[in-house]
Chains A and B, each alone.
Chain A
Amino acid sequence: MANATTTTAQTSIGTAPPPHLNYLTENNTLKAWLTTVDHKRLGLMYLGAVMSFFFIAGALALLLRLELLTPKQDFMDSATYNKVFTLHGAIMVFLFIIPSVPAALGNFVLPLMLGAKDVAFPRLNLASFYVYCTGAVMALAAIILGGVDTGWTFYTPYSTTTDGPVGLMAMAVFVLGFSSIFTGINFVATVHKLRAPGMGWFQLPLFVWGIYATALIQVLATPVLGITAVLMVMERAFHIGIFDARLGGDPVLFQHFFWFYSHPAVYIMILPGMAIISEIIPAFSKKTMFGYRAIAFSSVSIAFIGFLVWGHHMFTSGQSDLASAIFAFLTYLVAIPSGIKIWNWLATMYQGSIDMRTPMLYAMSFLILFAIGGLTGLYLGAISVDIHLHDTYFVVAHFHYVMMGGTVIAFIGGIHYWWPKMFGKMYNERLASIACWIVFIGFNVTFLNQFMMGSQGMPRRYWTYLPEFQRYHIGSTIGSWILGFGLVMAAGVLLASLRKKEYDAGDNPWGSRTMEWETISPPITHNFEGQPVLRHGPYDFRVEPTPATVAGGRH
């Protein structure tokens, strides 16, 4: 590959002023893309993959909502419904949200922010992508072989006794976990070893802090998920009693194992979202980050406390009252660092110079939706109230506000923020803002209804329901159409910009101060001409932005 690069470079020497040869156009063959170790190309490939799965799982969600329009059977029977909601959850969690921000945006942005040429282990990065693809193919195979109806949580003994390719699905999760671990290891090493000269830990952009905290959880928690999946498969295949009471196992043990990973996984999902918001708000407020250290430390403390709260998913499971009390107490402690971030973001806007462009609009949308998601968590931490709300639509609404209203909205905002850097082309600002508003409205119509029906007593994972809940279901289903339309529109606006012939975005369209904007858009394969040196802090708006430097021809 190195040879191919040289050849391409040589052919352009001596002819007309070379067009700006960048990571997209240099050596642009299918083989080069598929074997690339360039973090930017891998980031884009991840972006394409996770967005495809987001689209599939989103379409499944629309089908579920359509079926729930009436309490009777509309077009799918209960067995099909159970498979569809399982797929919606499993694809969204394992194939979309967990890899979304770290693997797609993290891969693209992290080395650029550090002033590095690539991640610490580029080949491992490529391997990680193919491991992800292998896991994805296994999951798709499980769907084709009849689908799985266990719910994404795989609770035993249902999961070890039901029919269908549950083992294959569990092994897909196992394999996907390794992709996540590889990415985590890579990012930890990159942040430790590849920072530009002069960039100490407290000159790191907060996106890097967020991704770093996430990477630590990925490395430490994901193996537990892998072990759990393997134990479950052993029980299914060889009848070794681990979780099944009839074989001498304990079904609640599975829940402990599962949530020991899956609660930290919630922070694997939300921390990167918060990390994106911590970039967008100072950039569009043109103001230094308020409480930089508090935000950095809150990411790390969320990552740490996040390991100790898994039992709050199990207040009704029969675990001891003492355990429930301890888990509830620790759960409330997580509220504090999350709250600190929100206050700091707001304080950053105070006396700022706020430009409400699309990424900032998504960040504001995030603030409101995440506030609702976080605050409704206060109900669920109060044990007696949780007993009432557990496994109802209230919980469904709560985690959608955090995962979708939080992480996914931040992810989409991040895509809009870095899009001009990725492709050098600017999307239609007006249409992108309108799409953001539609998403915001559709999201709230969909999920505010679910809070109300949940606390009224509508259980989750229900294919049919009591007639008194129908009005909320109708509202929620209509909301889902608005939301779906908004998301498709946002995607359309972004993709339409790629048809432009010119790189019209500029190197630093938002006037940001972090290092990824100090190279040209789209960046050259090696990111920077020479080794960039840190000249100012990531949010230091007292100085002018450092201009992008590149030798040779431009645009």
Chain B
Amino acid sequence: MNQFFQNLFLPPQASTHAKTVDDVFIFVTWVNIVFFLIVTFAAVYFSIKYKRRHANERTPHITHNLSLELFWSIIPLFVVMIIFFWGFQSYMVGRVAPNDSFEVQATAKKWLWAFEYPDGTRSINELHVPFGRPVRVVLSSEDVLHAFFLKDFRVKSDVLPNRYTEVWFEATKPGEYVLQCTEYCGKDHSNMRGKVFVDSKADYDKFIANGPADWATMPPTELGKMTYEQAGCVSCHSIDGTKGQGPSWKGIYGQTHQFVDGSSQVVDENYIRESIENPQAKILKGFEGIMPTYQGLLREKQINGIIAYIKSLK
């Protein structure tokens, strides 16, 4: 019977926390069934048994009965107090993330979810976490309120623009789970959906090495543009020829760069790659050597993407 309620009302249990929540849910279901049957049975039974048979029927004048009234006030009071304490206790279990949790930063904005991993990797609308570890997701919003809801994990938290909130979970099996926004946020609220992939160790390493799955199908110039915007290149390098902290990328491919030490080189693939991984090696005339190295922060695919993107900026 419990399994029947479980299947009728609740989504699959996919986190260690889900069972503690569902146990309370099932208990309340039983309480409700008992009380509902009492109320319905009494209403129907009395309606039939005490149906008016003739117009002048007399009824007993019963005004109250103290012990009966105490009985039906105190019993429910005990029942609801059990539900209260149990609900609060299981809530606290779901609130306190274990110390060794794997931590991910999630940022919500109309109408997408952006995730940042401990090694600096980023992904949009898909969250990859390693199986077998508790995961703590720290949430913040860039605009209005959103809410982070993983139904199969029984976790939810509002996402606020001015304060960090968090959820944590530990999945009980690897797989793909749906993430939904549950705080109304405007036009595409119902499309603000993401996926959570609980990966095996091998799959997770593959994700970190190769990036999100959609990179595989993304044209290199587009991936390069995304990296240019997300990895911070945009703050120093313009794409329209304006001089910033660093040289603009517009039309530089194929040009000859003069360096501060007097040497020069044609901008080609190898030169761009070197400038990303070891920017201090060659400093362009008129600029300072302030760029940090991106070695290890960008994946192979992203570097190739940036090269393709620079080529496309004519």
Contacts and interface: CB of A to CB of B under 8 A. Distances in A.
Interface in B72-99: 72-73, 76-77, 80-81, 83-84, 86-88, 90-95
A459 B52 contact: no
A387 B190 contact: no
A79 interface: yes
A162 B25 CA distance: 37
B311 interface: no
A33 interface: no
A464 interface: yes
Contacts of A542: 61
Interface string A146-171: 00010100010110011000000000
A317 interface: yes
Contact of A459 (B32, B62, B64, B182): B182
A157 B146 CA distance: 11
A127 interface: no
B39 A351 contact: no
Contact of B144 (A161, A250, A344, A371): A161
Given A364-B47, A371-B35, A461-B189, A245 B63 contact: no
A381 interface: yes
Chain A facing B: main interface SS: helix
B147 interface: yes
A355 B52 contact: yes
Interface in A281-340: 285-294, 316-318, 321, 324-325, 328-329, 332, 335-336, 339-340
Interface residues of A, number: 87
A316 B189 contact: no
B154 A381 contact: no
A351 B32 contact: no
Interface in B150-169: 151-152, 154-158, 160-163, 165
B11 interface: yes
A161 B110 CA distance: 13
A504 B51 CA distance: 25
For A246, A287, A388, A391, the residue with the greatest tally of chain B CB atoms inside 10 Å of its CB is A388
A130 to B, nearest CB: 34
A457 B151 contact: yes
A547 to B, nearest CB: 16
A251 B182 contact: no
B249 interface: no
A455 B9 contact: yes
A367 interface: yes
A353 B42 contact: no
- In this complex, which of A332, A339, A367, A384 has the most chain B Cβ atoms within 10 angstroms of its Cβ? A384
B73 A339 contact: yes
A157 B143 contact: yes
Contact of A387 (B32, B91, B187): B91
Contacts of A346: 39, 42-43, 46
A384 B145 contact: no
A508 B158 CA distance: 55
A452 interface: yes
Contact of A158 (B31, B178, B185): B185
Contacts, number: 257
Which of A151, A251, A321 has most B Cβ within 10 Å? Answer: A251
Given A339-B76, A456-B11, A384 B32 contact: no
Contacts of A495: none
B9 A285 contact: no
A349 interface: yes
B262 interface: no
Interface in B45-61: 46-47, 50-53, 57-61
A318 B46 contact: no
Interface in B12-49: 20-21, 24-25, 28, 31-32, 35-36, 39-40, 42-43, 46-47
Contacts of A364: 43, 47
A378 B61 contact: no
A419 interface: no
Contacts of B154: 384, 387-388
Contacts of B165: 318
Contact of A367 (B39, B95, B143, B185): B39
Given A157-B143, A379-B28, 17 more contacts: A82-B186, A155-B145, A158-B144, A158-B145, A290-B65, A292-B64, A316-B157, A318-B165, A346-B43, A381-B83, A382-B28, A383-B91, A391-B149, A392-B182, A457-B149, A459-B149, A459-B180
The 7 closest A-B pairs by CB, nearest first: A382-B87, A457-B151, A245-B162, A462-B190, A383-B91, A353-B57, A384-B91
Interface of A: 78-79, 82, 149, 151, 155, 157-158, 161-162, 245-246, 250-252, 285-294, 316-318, 321, 324-325, 328-329, 332, 335-336, 339-340, 342-344, 346-347, 349-356, 364, 367-368, 371-372, 375-376, 378-379, 381-388, 390-392, 451-452, 455-457, 459-466, 540-542
12 contacts: A246-B161, A289-B63, A291-B69, A335-B80, A349-B46, A368-B39, A371-B39, A381-B84, A383-B91, A457-B151, A459-B182, A466-B178
